[in-house]
């Protein structure tokens, strides 16, 4: 059986070139027990989430750090400073042993850094204390009240519950890996954040309607729409060729036969017949889901937001072209940014819109219902 902390360091190294959840998925099934898989996820997400704080501690104690050794230090320091159930000496000793695999000299170096960094007081800098990039904090400071900002920063570092949507629409929280829950194979069990569950009901699809999900993968909202329609009518799910298969898999597992999957670009795809209702769950900066996607805070740059807005605009324009007279569009994002959370379509009226801020129970996001007049 592989060493969990060694695997965590390997995943963190791999996540420099790919999303952390993708890097983690490669190793999550590496002959690990259920308990070790849970620990691996905790270590990887925790070291990623608290990276700025951890690196500040490391850099106060060492000038030059080998990239692999830095990952071992991050994993160990995260355990020491953020996990109560792992003894300090165990975290230090484990990191020292793993460092020997890099070089014999590294063992003493790791030992010295950890013993010094473990009790260092943090600076007053809010970016270090909450492990967020300064540019994002300053951006939010201009829009949110101090208490709101503090709450968002705290929520971004929370361990959110795993919520699932049942066939009857009820939402429940479960513990552990949802795929190992005996109810996972049952019809109607879908993992979905509580904020995400607001989107499909806002569109309020009817059994007799033609409904379009223009950015459907991985399929949580698509299957929700299909269930709300009682398995009747038609939900056409569109996404890029390398992603649309995820929707098909979800539809098959939930035994939903009123979903038609189409590979294509939601910004340009055309259909002969118009749709009664369209969902545009647009790609975005993801600043509302930093608790569930902790690496986003380190990948995202402020200029990326403007790029996302351009894509969102094209998706909305195409949705308007595909919509029947009197039809409705729901536009949603996982973003907190005002540039991304705007529906400005000629001939449309905003019926309802809501910005949900992240909490320790759910992610943040934006939803708006627009009707063609």
Which of 215, 284, 334, 362 is flagged as catalytic?
A: 334
Helix, strand, or coil (residue 8): helix
The side-by-side arrangement of strands in the sheet containing 323-333 is 259-263, 234-239, 210-213, 275-281, 323-333, 365-372, 348-356
Tell me the residue range of the domain where 69 lies: 4-128
Of 200, 312, 317, 314, nearest in space to 259 by CA: 200
173, β-bridge pairs = 163
Say how far apart CA 47 and CA 50 lie, in whole Å.
5
> Which residue, 128, 158, 177, sits at the end of a domain?
128
The residue written with tokens 């039809």 in the block is 327
Please give the residue that has the higher pLDDT: either 175 or 241. 241
- Asked if the model's pLDDT at residue 58 lies above 80, the reply is yes
Q: At what angle do helices 4-14 and 88-99 cross, to 10 degrees?
A: 60
Q: What is the CATH number of the domain that holds 282?
A: 3.40.50.150
Q: Tell me what pLDDT residue 192 has.
A: 94
Q: Per DSSP, which regions of 52-186 are E strands?
A: 162-165, 171-174
Lowest mean pLDDT among 32-36, 73-77, 161-165: 32-36
Mean pLDDT in residue range 332-360: 97
CB 131 within 8 A of CB 49: yes
The answer to whether residue 187 is domain-embedded is no
Q: Tell me what pLDDT residue 1 has.
A: 46
Say how far apart CA 359 and CA 310 lie, in whole Å.
29
Q: Tell me what pLDDT residue 154 has.
A: 98
Q: What is the mean pLDDT of the chain?
A: 94
> Which residue, 72, 96, 128, sits at the end of a domain?
128
Mean pLDDT in residue range 89-115: 94
Q: Per DSSP, which regions of the chain are E strands?
A: 162-165, 171-174, 190-191, 210-213, 234-239, 259-263, 275-281, 323-333, 348-356, 365-372
> Which residue, 87, 112, 128, sits at the end of a domain?
128
Lowest mean pLDDT among 71-80, 180-189, 324-333: 180-189
Give the tens place of pLDDT for each residue, 292-302.
999 999 999 99
- Asked if the model's pLDDT at residue 104 lies above 90, the reply is no
Mean pLDDT in residue range 254-275: 97
Give the tens place of pLDDT for each residue, 6-56.
999 999 999 999 999 999 888 766 678 888 888 999 999 999 999 999 999
* Number of structural domains found in the chain: 2
Mean pLDDT in residue range 232-250: 97
β-pairing, 365-372 with 323-333?
antiparallel
Residues in contact with 39: Cβ distance below 8 Å, sequence separation at least 6, in sequence order: 4
Mean pLDDT in residue range 284-294: 98
356, β-bridge pairs = 365
The answer to whether residue 189 is domain-embedded is no
- Asked if the model's pLDDT at residue 75 lies above 90, the reply is yes
The answer to whether residue 265 is domain-embedded is yes
Whole-structure pTM value: 0.94
Lowest mean pLDDT among 17-26, 85-94, 117-126, 168-177: 168-177
Residue 284 is among the residues annotated as catalytic for this protein: no
Q: Tell me what pLDDT residue 184 has.
A: 74
CB 357 within 8 A of CB 152: yes
- Asked if the model's pLDDT at residue 80 lies above 70, the reply is yes
The answer to whether residue 150 is domain-embedded is no
Say how far apart CA 221 and CA 268 lie, in whole Å.
21
Say how far apart CA 259 and CA 232 lie, in whole Å.
9
Q: What is the CATH number of the domain that holds 41?
A: 1.10.940.10
CB 261 within 8 A of CB 233: no
Asked whether residue 113 falls in the same domain as residue 199, the answer is no
Say how far apart CA 96 and CA 83 lie, in whole Å.
18
- Asked if the model's pLDDT at residue 242 lies above 70, the reply is yes
Percentage of the residues of the chain whose pLDDT score is greater than 90:
86
CB 69 within 8 A of CB 39: no
């Amino acid at each position: 059986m592989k060493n969990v902390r060694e695997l965590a360091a390997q995943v963190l190294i791999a996540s420099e070139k790919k999303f952390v959840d993708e890097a983690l998925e490669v190793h999550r099934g590496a002959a690990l027990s259920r308990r070790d898989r849970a620990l691996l996820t905790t270590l990887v997400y925790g070291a990623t989430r608290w990276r700025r704080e951890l690196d500040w501690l490391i850099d106060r104690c060492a000038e030059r750090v080998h990239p692999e050794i830095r990952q071992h230090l991050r994993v160990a320091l995260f355990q020491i400073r953020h996990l109560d159930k792992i003894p300090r000496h165990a975290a230090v000793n484990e990191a020292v042993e793993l460092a020997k695999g890099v070089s014999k000299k590294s063992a003493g170096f790791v030992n010295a850094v950890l013993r010094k960094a473990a009790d260092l007081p943090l600076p007053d800098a809010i970016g270090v204390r909450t492990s967020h990039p300064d540019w994002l904090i300053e951006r939010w400071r201009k829009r949110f009240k101090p208490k709101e900002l503090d709450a968002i920063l705290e929520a971004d570092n929370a361990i959110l519950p795993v919520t699932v949507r049942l066939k009857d629409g009820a939402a429940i929280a479960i513990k552990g890996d949802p795929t190992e829950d005996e109810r996972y194979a049952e019809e109607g069990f879908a993992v979905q954040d509580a904020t995400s569950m607001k989107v499909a009901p806002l569109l309020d699809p009817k059994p007799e309607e033609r409904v379009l999900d223009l950015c459907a993968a991985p399929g949580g909202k698509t299957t929700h729409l299909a269930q709300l329609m009682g398995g009747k009518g038609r939900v056409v799910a569109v996404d890029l060729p390398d992603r649309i298969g995820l929707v098909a898999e979800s539809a098959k597992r939930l035994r939903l036969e009123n979903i038609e999957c189409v590979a294509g670009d939601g910004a340009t795809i055309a259909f002969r017949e118009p749709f009664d209702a369209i969902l545009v769950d647009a790609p975005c900066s993801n600043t509302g889901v930093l608790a569930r996607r902790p690496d986003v805070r380190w990948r995202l740059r402020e200029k990326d937001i403007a790029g996302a807005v351009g894509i969102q605009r094209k998706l909305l324009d195409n949705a308007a072209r595909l919509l029947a007279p009197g039809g409705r569009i729901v536009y949603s994002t996982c973003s907190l940014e005002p540039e991304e959370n705007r529906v400005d379509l000629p001939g449309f009226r905003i019926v309802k819109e809501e910005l949900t801020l992240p909490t320790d129970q759910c992610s943040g996001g934006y939803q708006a219902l627009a009707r063609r007049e």
